[in-house]
């Protein structure tokens, strides 16, 4: 094995190990949130944003609510939330299947299973 | 975030629809973690610069009638300050606060120039929520145009098979 090949091997091992480790941390974190909250924080935010949009309080954050997206998106999220959380979760698996690499999709399967679980605002 | 990552992965691969979708997402749901790939696209694919300006103009113009434009812009800084203190913040900023940006921004720029978009996304963000780590997956996506990738970035860093 040449020095170049060895270097490439080390680089590959480092990158793959780092990514897998990072994703493992992500999975543990997400599992903690899901067990604690049962559903995606993003979902609750979307429901609340759609409700607040006509009230003029879209950006009045109050833990755990926090909306950061463009304001014109809030009514669209209202339509989305009307479709139901099951559709939202299924859409994540469809997105997973559409990724350009199947191994990448497999790597992201666990985070996706939580259904776009997000993190609450500052507690 | 999954949908952002889907658009990002295909955009990095050079898919025009995904690039357009990613630019729209950058304008509608801007997050610091999205900046390195945005910069990389605008740097490596100049044809998308003016369309992105148009997208931003359109998003801003359509936000005006809602009456929330000022609040939205103000939320950018408020969000950063708040989320640095988030219990789930995985960034070094959790320990050193906004000072992390003194290291993170130059590091993110350097990593972007080297074609390490996934790591650059981690570095440049003032805070790192757990599910944002998905963006590290971009390290496993090879740009379609190899000339656009950093010279040293080899196929050894890419997992496949890749479709499209």
Cβ atoms B54, B138 nearer than 8 A: no
Q: State the average pLDDT for chain B.
A: 83
Does a structural domain hold residue B152? Answer: no
Structure tokens at B26: 């950058």
Pairs of residues, one from chain A and one from chain B, whose beta carbons lie less than 8 Å apart: 151
Does a structural domain hold residue B80? Answer: yes
Average pLDDT over residues B107-133: 86
Residue B146 vs residue B60, higher pLDDT: B60
Interface test with B, best of A30, A72, A89, A103 (most B CBs within 10 A): A72
Measured between alpha carbons, how far apart are the two ends of chain B, in Å?
22
CB contact under 8 Å between B131 and A117, yes or no, is yes
Confidence category of residue B158, pLDDT binned at 50, 70, 90? very low
CB contact under 8 Å between B139 and A19, yes or no, is yes
- d(C-alpha A46, C-alpha B3), whole Å: 15
Does a structural domain hold residue B15? Answer: yes
In this prediction, the answer to ipTM > 0.85 reads no
Does a structural domain hold residue B146? Answer: no
Reply yes or no on whether the pLDDT at B141 is more than 60: yes
In this predicted structure, what is the pLDDT of residue B160? 44
CB contact under 8 Å between A22 and B28, yes or no, is no
CB contact under 8 Å between A23 and B68, yes or no, is no
Structure tokens at A84: 């139901």
Does a structural domain hold residue B148? Answer: no
Q: Is the peptide bond before A29 cis (omega within 30 degrees of 0)?
A: no
Structure tokens at A62: 């109050």
Average pLDDT over residues B3-19: 92
Structural domain containing residue B18: 2-141
For the segment A26-84, what is each residue's pLDDT rounded down to a tens digit?
Answer: 666 666 666 666 666 778 888 899 999 999 888 887 777 888 899 999 999 888 888 88
Does a structural domain hold residue B62? Answer: yes
Confidence category of residue A12, pLDDT binned at 50, 70, 90? confident
Average pLDDT over residues A114-121: 46
In this predicted structure, what is the pLDDT of residue B58? 96
- Residues in chain A within 8 Å Cβ distance of B156: 8-9, 11-12
In this predicted structure, what is the pLDDT of residue B155? 40
Of the candidates A8, A22, A96, the beta carbon closest to that of B136 is on A22
Cβ atoms A70, B59 nearer than 8 A: yes
Does a structural domain hold residue B61? Answer: yes
For tokens 């805070």, the residue is B127
Where does chain A have alpha helices with state H? 3-37, 41-52, 74-83, 85-97, 102-107, 109-113
- d(C-alpha B44, C-alpha B77), whole Å: 28
Structure tokens at B154: 């080899």
Average pLDDT over residues B143-147: 63
Residue A79, classified by CB atoms within 10 Å of its CB into exposed (0-12), middle (13-18) or buried (19+), is exposed
CB contact under 8 Å between A25 and B130, yes or no, is yes
Cβ atoms B158, B138 nearer than 8 A: no
In this predicted structure, what is the pLDDT of residue B156? 39
Average pLDDT over residues B96-112: 89
| Domains contained in chain B, number | 1
CB contact under 8 Å between A111 and B62, yes or no, is no
Q: How far is B47 from chain A (nearest CA, A)?
A: 23
Does a structural domain hold residue B118? Answer: yes
Q: Is the peptide bond before B161 cis (omega within 30 degrees of 0)?
A: yes
């Amino acid at each position: 094995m040449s020095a170049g090949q060895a270097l490439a091997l080390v680089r590959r091992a480092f990158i793959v190990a780092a990514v897998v480790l990072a994703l493992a941390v992500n999975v543990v974190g997400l599992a903690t949130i899901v067990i604690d909250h049962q559903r995606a924080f993003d979902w609750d935010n979307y429901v609340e944003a759609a409700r607040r949009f006509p009230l003029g309080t879209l950006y009045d954050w109050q833990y755990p609510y926090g909306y950061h997206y463009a304001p014109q998106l809030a009514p669209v999220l209202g339509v989305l939330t009307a479709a139901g959380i099951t559709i939202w979760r299924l859409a994540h698996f469809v997105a997973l299947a559409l990724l350009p690499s199947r191994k990448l999709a497999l790597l992201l399967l666990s985070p996706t299973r939580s259904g776009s679980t997000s993190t609450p605002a500052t507690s | 975030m999954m949908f952002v990552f889907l658009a990002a992965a295909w955009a990095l691969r050079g898919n025009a629809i995904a690039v357009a979708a990613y630019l729209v997402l950058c304008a509608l749901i801007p997050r610091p973690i999205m900046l390195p790939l945005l910069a990389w696209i605008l740097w490596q694919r100049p044809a998308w610069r003016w369309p992105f300006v148009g997208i931003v103009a359109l998003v801003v113009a359509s936000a005006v009638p809602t009456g929330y434009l000022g609040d939205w812009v103000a939320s950018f800084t408020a969000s950063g300050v708040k989320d640095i203190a988030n219990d789930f913040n995985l960034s070094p900023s959790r320990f050193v606060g906004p000072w992390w940006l003194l290291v993170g921004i130059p590091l993110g720029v350097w990593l972007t120039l080297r074609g390490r978009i996934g790591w650059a996304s981690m570095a440049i963000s003032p805070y790192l929520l757990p599910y944002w780590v998905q963006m590290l997956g971009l390290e496993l996506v090879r740009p379609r145009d190899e000339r656009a990738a950093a010279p040293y970035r080899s196929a050894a860093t890419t997992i496949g098979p890749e479709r499209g």
